């Protein structure tokens, strides 16, 4: 322009099409448009920007890039000296000097990185750390599939990132960020579509979930309009607490063909039916609707590799539970199978629904999506507001757990839980029903303030005794139920009957319970089968949050000591539970003879349970004297008992004046040796 020049041997060449390869062996970087200082030296293309500057050289193609293409080059970082960084990059989706994507090695930082440059900042959207060196060749391959880019180095995948927009609209090339580097064997090719579609995201959603609720999921970074994201690597197995999750959604990295039959959802007792599937072509997202809401269980979601892309490549579905965030191993074919933990009501997302979940809902009660105190995990029905309607999911599942959940640390307060040991006579015909309270003992005998508590009891011992349920304590209950008007959760968790029972409070309004020393927390109901003999322990279980736990008014967990009570079921005539009818039992009857005692108090001698120690109790002891709980033959037992009774009569100076059959017992008139008359 405004100059005089001489030209010779001018040639015009058409810009290249795909595939295009440049090895720089002819000393020319054909069809590259450099900026920032570039030269071909020794068969390599070298970036030589001034210190503090970037370098970029873009390939000029005669046609647009396809949606799916591969970009590769050998990258060799140089030590530029003072003022330089050390990196070498592939550039793609170049839309201008202040708007392009990059992927490559940052040798000084020891990282492979991928992100975008906006003219000021090199944002990092994905990174992978490892030992990197300058003066070493690395073979980089960037595969671009619509909006997702994946970087492999020397044949090993390092990074992948979904940019959320198609990446074929800009140009491609090489560059550096204030660094010197060499490039060789540059190649860009249209992808031969032999790659199976991958699942980029898995979500669970409820058809009843409102827009306000899904907006709250998006605002919290845990989902969006398509539901709650579960493909979260290490967090995949955190429990899903919602009552009405009845859809499974999957987003793919390309357009796919799906059907209702491609998805199966199973649980420990069977499977959910799939009633239909919808597909959003704009986002490559499929949503399957189930015939029922997900229930508390380990749920297995399997997507068959009958899902295909436009080139009929089968799903690349391999998945590693607790690690994967997208499916695939790079080869078409292979179903996707992932496990979810569904524990309805577990607002703290552990594997148990417990009194600690009450606190989560209580803290958010009355709040709506967008409020400071709102939590999507407390909004169990997904309607955008935490109300009493959300109580139902917790109340119906409190005490249930998928797996053992470890307990946390305890606060400064400590208490003891115990029960009163009981002694009963085995029934002869109909089962015997009884109950036992679990009571609390405070450290200093003074009342304490609690917000919530739960008690789990497991029955151990031989066969013959079973737990049948429970409820509010019989004596001095700390609170009553069901809720409302009391705080106890109806009749408790009965799934584990007859071997275990659980009952907890559901204190949603935060009322403080002033619990006195000796207050009963819960009542246990039991049944004894006829002929049962043995010692049974009502073990107070304190293994984790879904077991026995007390929460103080300051939300701290109370440190517990437990003294698990026992039920002794013994033979008729035994008053002290040693399974033998002997002189101690006779003494118990005689020492309280004619007295009123608590009905059924065997240790006081009331063997018949009428509240009076009298002739029938005495007759029962004498008729069973020397009987033992140890199994013996009938003849030996009869002979031994007769001998023991004879010795007893001689020893005490008593004589039998007549036998009278009353309720199967033999009655004796006692005669004083000294006076010779009746006692």
The set of residues, in sequence order, having a beta carbon less than 8 Å from that of 587 and lying 6+ positions away, is none
Tell me what pLDDT residue 655 has: 34
Question: Residue 533 pLDDT > 50, yes or no?
Answer: yes
Element (H, E) at 446: none
Give the fold, CATH level 3, of 195-405.
Immunoglobulin-like (2.60.40)
Distances (CA, A) of 175 to 106, 215, 328, 588: 12, 40, 31, 99
Tally of helices (H runs) and strands (E runs) in the chain: 6, 39
Q: Is the pLDDT of residue 256 over 70?
A: yes
Token pair 């917000």 is at which residue?
451
Query: Does residue 289 come out as left (phi exceeding 0), alpha (psi in the -120 to 50 range) or beta?
Result: beta
CB neighbour burial string for 17-38, b if at least 16 within 10 angstroms, e if fewer:
ebebebebeeeebebbebebbb
User: How confident is residue 482, by pLDDT bands cut at 50, 70 and 90?
Assistant: confident
Q: How far apart are CA 191 and CA 165, in angstroms?
A: 18
Look at phi and psi of residue 178 and say left if phi exceeds 0, alpha if psi is from -120 to 50, else beta. left
Provide the β-strand partners of residue 28. Answer: none
Q: In degrees rounded to 5, what are phi and psi of residue 457?
A: -125, 135
| Residue 479: φ, ψ to 5° | -155, 170
Asked if 485 and 435 count as a contact pair (C-beta separation under 8 A), the reply is: no
- pLDDT reported for residue 544: 84
How far is the C-alpha of 646 from the C-alpha of 640, rounded, in Å? 10
Residue range 414-570 forms a domain whose CATH class is mainly beta
Residue 233, helix vs strand vs coil: helix
Nearest alpha-carbon partner for 357 in 504, 483, 554, 473: 504
Supply the pLDDT for residue 145.
87
CA pair distance 567, 569, nearest whole angstrom: 6
- The one-character DSSP state at 107 is T
- Lowest mean pLDDT of 144-158, 198-212, 242-256, 400-414, name the range: 400-414
Q: How far apart are CA 455 and CA 440, in angstroms?
A: 11
CA distance 140 to 161: 16
Domain ranges of the chain: 20-190, 195-405, 414-570, 579-679
Q: What is the pLDDT of residues 379-393, one digit of tens each?
A: 999 999 999 999 988
- Beta carbons within 8 Å of 661's beta carbon, 6+ residues apart: none
3-class DSSP state of 361: helix
pLDDT by residue (tens digit) across 493-525?
Answer: 888 999 999 999 999 989 899 999 999 999 999
The answer to whether 380 touches 398, Cβ cutoff 8 Å, is: no
Structure tokens given for 458: 């497991």
* Helical spans, DSSP H, in 379-462: 391-395
Of 115, 95, 118, 103, the closest CA to residue 171 belongs to 95
Q: Which two tokens stand for residue 65?
A: 């890039």
Q: How many CA within 13 A on the CB side of residue 346?
A: 24
Q: Which of 190-204, 242-256, 284-298, 330-344 has the lowest mean pLDDT?
A: 190-204
What confidence tier does 371 reach under pLDDT thresholds 50, 70, 90? very high
CA distances from 554 to 95, 152, 359, 557 (A): 58, 53, 11, 9
Burial 210-246 (b: 16+ CB within 10 A, else e): bebbbbbbeeeebbbbbbbbbbbeeebbbbbbbbbbb
Q: Looking at the DSSP assignment, which residues form a beta bridge with residue 591? A: none
Is the per-residue pLDDT at 113 higher than 90? Answer: yes
Q: Which residue has the higher pLDDT, 644 or 623?
A: 623
Of 5-14, 294-303, 432-441, minimum mean pLDDT range: 5-14
Q: What is the mean pLDDT of residues 399-417?
A: 82
Residues, the chain: 679
Which tokens hold the place of 207?
Answer: 């058809």
- State residue 588's pLDDT score: 96
Q: What is the CA radius of gyration of the chain?
A: 40
- Which range, of 6-15, 53-62, 478-487, averages the lowest pLDDT? 6-15
pLDDT of residue 12: 64
Out of 2.30.29.30, 3.30.360.10, 1.20.5.510, 2.60.120.560, the CATH code matching 20-190 is 2.60.120.560
Has residue 637 got a pLDDT over 50?
no
pLDDT of 667 higher than 50: no
Check whether 635 has a pLDDT greater than 90: no
Residue 1 has pLDDT above 70, yes or no: no
Rounded-to-integer distance, Cα 52 and Cα 180, Å: 11
Residue owning tokens 């005495």: 618
Q: Output the pLDDT for position 643.
A: 44
What's the rounded Cα separation, in Å, for the pair 325 and 318?
A: 11
Domains 195-405 and 414-570 equal at CATH topology level: yes
CA 143, 146, 152 angle in degrees (round to 5)? 15
Task: Choose among 660, 672, 592, 668: nearest CA to 625.
Answer: 668
pLDDT level of residue 539 (50, 70, 90 thresholds):
very high
The reported pLDDT for the residue numbered 245 is: 97
d(CA 403, CA 493): 16
Average pLDDT, the chain: 90
Mean pLDDT of the 553-577 span: 95
Alpha carbons 84 and 107: distance in angstroms, whole number: 12
Contact criterion met (CB below 8 Å) for 222 and 242: no
Closest CA to 566 of 531, 543, 534: 534
Across 62-73, average pLDDT:
94
DSSP annotation string for 289-347: EESS---SEEEEEEE-TT-EETT-PBP-----TTT-SS---SSS---EEEEEEE-TT-T
| CA 490/CA 273 separation, integer angstroms | 32
pLDDT higher than threshold 90 for residue 485: no
Strand pairing class (285-290; 247-252):
antiparallel
**What pLDDT score does 9 carry?**
72
Give the C-alpha separation, 486 to 391, whole Å.
Answer: 15
Percent of the chain with pLDDT over 70: 91
Q: Tell me, what's the pLDDT at 569?
A: 96
Q: Give me the mean pLDDT over the 39-64 stretch.
A: 96
Q: Which two tokens stand for residue 411?
A: 């606060």
Task: Report the pLDDT value the prediction gives residue 6, as an integer from 0 to 100.
Answer: 80
Q: What are phi and psi of 76, to 5 degrees?
A: -135, 105
Residue 409: the pLDDT is 65
Determine the distance from the C-alpha atom of residue 495 to the mean position of all C-alpha atoms in its chain, rounded to a whole number: 19
DSSP 612: B
H or E element in which residue 219 lies: helix 211-219
């Amino acid at each position: 322009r405004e100059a005089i020049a001489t030209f010779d041997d001018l040639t015009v060449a058409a810009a290249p099409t795909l595939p295009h390869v440049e090895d720089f062996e002819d000393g020319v970087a054909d069809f590259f448009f450099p900026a920032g200082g570039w030269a071909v030296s020794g068969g390599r293309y070298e970036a030589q920007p001034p210190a503090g500057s970037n370098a970029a050289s873009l390939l000029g193609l005669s046609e647009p890039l396809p949606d799916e293409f591969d970009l590769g080059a050998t990258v060799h970082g140089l030590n530029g000296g003072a003022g330089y960084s050390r990196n070498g990059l592939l550039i793609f989706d170049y839309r201008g000097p202040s708007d392009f994507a990059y992927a490559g090695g940052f040798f000084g930082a020891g990282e492979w990185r991928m992100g975008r440059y906006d003219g000021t900042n090199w944002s990092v959207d994905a990174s992978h750390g490892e030992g990197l060196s300058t003066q070493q060749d690395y073979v980089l391959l960037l595969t671009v599939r619509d909006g997702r880019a994946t970087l492999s180095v020397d044949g090993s995948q390092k990074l992948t990132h979904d940019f959320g927009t198609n990446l074929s609209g800009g140009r491609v090339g090489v560059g550096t960020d204030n660094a010197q580097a060499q490039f060789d064997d540059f190649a860009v090719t249209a992808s031969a579509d032999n790659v199976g579609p991958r699942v980029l995201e898995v979500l669970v959603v409820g058809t009843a979930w409102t827009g306000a609720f899904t907006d709250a999921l998006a605002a919290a970074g845990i989902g969006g309009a398509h539901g709650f994201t579960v493909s979260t690597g290490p967090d995949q197995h955190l429990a899903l607490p919602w009552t009405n999750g009845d859809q499974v959604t999957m987003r793919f990295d390309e357009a796919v063909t799906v059907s209702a039959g491609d998805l199966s959802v199973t649980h420990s007792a069977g499977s959910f039916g799939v009633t239909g599937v919808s597909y959003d072509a704009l986002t490559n997202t499929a949503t399957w609707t189930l015939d029922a809401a997900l229930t508390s269980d380990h749920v297995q979601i399997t997507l068959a590799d009958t899902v295909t892309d436009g080139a009929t490549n089968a799903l690349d579905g391999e998945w590693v539970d607790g690690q994967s965030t997208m499916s695939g191993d790079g080869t078409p074919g292979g179903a996707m199978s992932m496990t979810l933990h569904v524990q309805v009501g577990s607002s703290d997302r552990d594997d148990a629904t417990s009194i600690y979940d009450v606190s989560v809902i209580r803290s958010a009660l009355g709040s709506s999506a967008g409020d400071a105190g709102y939590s999507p995990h407390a909004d169990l029905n997904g309607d955008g507001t935490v109300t009493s309607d959300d109580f139902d999911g917790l109340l119906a599942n409190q005490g249930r757990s998928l797996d053992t959940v470890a307990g946390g640390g305890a606060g400064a307060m400590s208490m003891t839980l115990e029960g009163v040991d009981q002694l009963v006579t085995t029934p002869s015909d109909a089962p015997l029903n009884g109950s036992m309270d679990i009571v609390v003992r405070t450290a200093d005998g003074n009342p304490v303030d609690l917000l919530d508590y739960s008690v789990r009891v497991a029955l151990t011992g031989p066969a013959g005794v079973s737990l049948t349920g429970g409820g509010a304590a019989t004596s001095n209950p700390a609170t009553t139920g069901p809720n409302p008007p009391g705080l106890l959760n109806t009749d408790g968790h009965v799934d584990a009957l007859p071997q275990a029972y659980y009952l907890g409070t559901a204190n949603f309004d935060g009322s403080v319970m002033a619990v006195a020393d000796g207050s009963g927390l819960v009542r246990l109901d039991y049944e004894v089968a006829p002929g049962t003999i043995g010692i049974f322990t009502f073990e107070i279980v304190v293994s984790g949050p879904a077991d026995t736990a007390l929460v103080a008014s300051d939300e701290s967990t109370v440190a517990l000591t437990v003294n698990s009570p026992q039920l002794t079921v013994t033979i008729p005539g035994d008053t002290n539970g040693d399974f033998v009818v002997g002189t101690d039992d006779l003494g118990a009857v005689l020492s309280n003879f004619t007295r009123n005692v608590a009905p059924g108090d065997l240790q006081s001698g009331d063997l018949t349970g009428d509240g009076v120690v009298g002739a029938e109790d005495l007759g029962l002891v004498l008729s069973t004297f020397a009987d033992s709980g140890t199994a013996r033959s009938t003849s030996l037992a009869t002979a031994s008992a007769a001998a023991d009774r004879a010795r007893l009569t001689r020893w005490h100076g008593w004589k039998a004046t007549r036998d009278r059959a009353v309720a199967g017992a033999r009655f004796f008139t006692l005669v004083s040796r000294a006076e010779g008359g009746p006692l």
